[in-house]
Structure 1
Amino acid sequence: MNFAEQAAELHRLEAVALSLSLSDDQYEAILRDVDATSKALPDDTPAWRLAEIRRRIPEAAR
């Protein structure tokens, strides 16, 4: 996945978050938390980060 594809996926995930009534602040908190968590991983990848964001959005919307 190249940078443009990653950016497009982040925009799609933001749209999903907003459609589930998450605020911009809630979505950004997910991004910050995933970023902090991934830095502690030995094999941090953009794919892992996107998957983790995708997983956390529905949890935050509950």
Structure 2
Amino acid sequence: MGIGFGEAQAKIDGACMFGARVQLPPTITLGDLVQELSSLYSLIDDMAKVAPPEATQ
């Protein structure tokens, strides 16, 4: 999660919305990919439920 994304935009807007970035090895198998993505499901679902700042004002 987070590799320095959005710092400049956060300084401009005065707000920060975090996203997710998953780095996978190029040799990952489909089975391992399914397992990895399945383990992230609840996090992704929670993130999708968060309203953008514009919608909450």
What TM-score do you get using the length of structure 1 for normalisation? 0.32
What TM-score do you get using the length of structure 2 for normalisation? 0.34
Q: Which has the higher relative contact order, 1 or 2, with Cα contacts under 8 A spaced 6 or more apart?
A: 1
